[in-house]
Amino acid sequence: MRAGAAEEPIHKFAFGGGHSLPGEIQVTPANFYSEAAGYGFEPGAEVTAANGCITSTKAFYFSTKLPEGNYRVTVTFGDKSGDYTTTVKAELRRLMLEHIHTDSSQRVTRSFVVNLRGTRIGNEGEVRLKEREKTTEWWDWDDKLTLEFNDARPCVAAIEITQVEVPTLFILGDSTVCDQPTEPWNSWGQMLPRFFKPEIAVANHAESGETIAGALSAHRFGKVFSLMKAGDYLFVQFGHNDMKDKQPDAPQKYKARLRQVIAQTRACGGTPVVVTSMERKNGISHPTLAGYPAAAREIATQEKCALIDLNTTSVVFYQALGTNLGRAFQDGTHHNNYGSYELAKCVVEGIRQSQLPLAKFIVDDFDGFDPAHPDPVETFRMPASPRHSDVKPLGN
C-alpha cells in the first residue's frame, strides 16, 4: 500500500449463501481454496451455511491470496439461529480474538491486524529457511492470509480485508518466542497479537533453534530491517540456544551482536527492546541460562535501550504456580497454551511498566498483570488448533 493512500477494502466476503451487497464475494460451503479463485476454505473444512453465516462443530480455515504487508481484518460474527462462540487465530496459530460470544439477538463485529511476509529481501536475496519452515511452518511464509475459526461453535457472517499502514512490532528470537505450528506447543510471541488493538501489527520472525548469530546469518534480521520504518519496534529475545556455545568468547560475541542489532534498529528509525529469556522449568530452583539474561540486561543499560525482564517475571510466575508448574510447560523448556498466554501477559505488563509509546495500543480489557497472581490454570480455556504433533521444537 503506498503512503497516503486511502484505506479501501481489498476483499469483502459474505458467508452462508444469503444475499450479498455490491462488491461482496459470496462464499458457500463448496468454496474450497484454489489458485484460480484466490480464496476459499482449506482442505478438511466441514462447514454448513445457516441463515447468512458459515458455522461448524469444529475448527476450520479460510484463506485468501495476498502479497506481503499488514492487513486489517474485520469479521462479523453471529446469526439469528442461536448462540455461537468463536476464537480466531491467523497464519500459524497467532491468537487474534478469543471467545467472541453472540446470541440469537445480535451480531458482533471485531477487527485485528495480521502481518504477512515472504522470503524475499528486496532485490538482495532471501531468508534462509529451515526445512520445517518449508513444510509444517509454510503458512508463515506463503502468499495467503489464513484464518482459523475455532471454539465451541464458530460462526462467521462476513470478512472484510483492508491493507493498512500501521506501526509494526517485529519480534526475533528462538523456539520460546516463535509461531509454533502445531499443538500442544506454543510460545508467547504467537499469543501477543491478542493483546493489541487493530492499530498495530505484530510480525513474529522468531524461529526454533536460533541464536542471535544464526538469525543474523540466515538474514532474519536483514529481512526485518528491510521492512522497518520510523515508528516500528523490534523485540529481541535470545539466550536459550546461545548459551550452548562453549567458546570462551561466546558471551562477548553475544553482547557485540546485540549492540549491533540495537544500533541498526535505531538507524532504521525503529525502537529496540531487549527481552531477557524466560527461565526453563528447572529455573525455579537455579538459573539455567548461564548468565545470558544478565548479559542482555547489561547491554540494555549501556545502550540506554528499553528492557523487558521476562527472565525475572517468569520465575515469579513459576513460583506462584506451585504444584501446578508442570501445567504451564510441554517439556523442560517449551510451553503450552496456558504457559505462553501468561508469559505474553508478562511481556504486555513489561511494555506498560517501561512506559513505551507502544503501550497506547494495548487492548482495553488488559487491566495489568501480576505474575505472582497468574490466571488460575483450572479455569484457563483455549480451543486447540486442529494440527497436532509430538515432534519437539528445535532447541531446548
- Encode 282-296 in three state secondary structure: HHHCCCCCCCHHHHH
| Residues 6+ positions from 385 with CB-CB distance below 8 Å | 59, 89, 93, 148, 150, 182, 183
pLDDT of residue 69: 97
**What does the domain layout of the chain look like in residue ranges?**
1-165, 167-383
pLDDT of residue 21: 65
Assess contact for 29 and 49: CB atoms under 8 A.
yes
Assess contact for 207 and 119: CB atoms under 8 A.
no
The CATH H-level (homologous superfamily) assignment of domain 167-383 is SGNH hydrolase (3.40.50.1110)
pLDDT of residue 356: 95
Question: pLDDT tens digit string along 264-297?
Answer: 999 999 999 999 999 999 999 999 999 999 999 9
Alpha carbon of residue 295 to chain centroid: 26
CATH of 1-165, one of 2.60.120.380, 3.60.21.10, 2.60.120.430, 1.10.760.10: 2.60.120.430
Question: pLDDT tens digit string along 340-393?
Answer: 999 999 999 999 999 999 999 999 999 999 999 999 999 999 999 999 999 999
Assess contact for 179 and 17: CB atoms under 8 A.
no
pTM recorded for the entire structure: 0.95
CA distance 216 to 346: 27
Nearest alpha-carbon partner for 387 in 233, 181, 205, 225? 181
pLDDT of residue 123: 83
pLDDT of residue 22: 72
What's the number of CA atoms in the CB half-sphere (13 Å) around residue 206?
36
Neighbours of 344 (CB within 10 A): 23
pLDDT of residue 7: 76
Regions of the chain where pLDDT drops below 70: 1-6, 17-21
CA distance 155 to 36: 26
pLDDT of residue 19: 56
Does 167-383 match 1-165 at the fold level? no
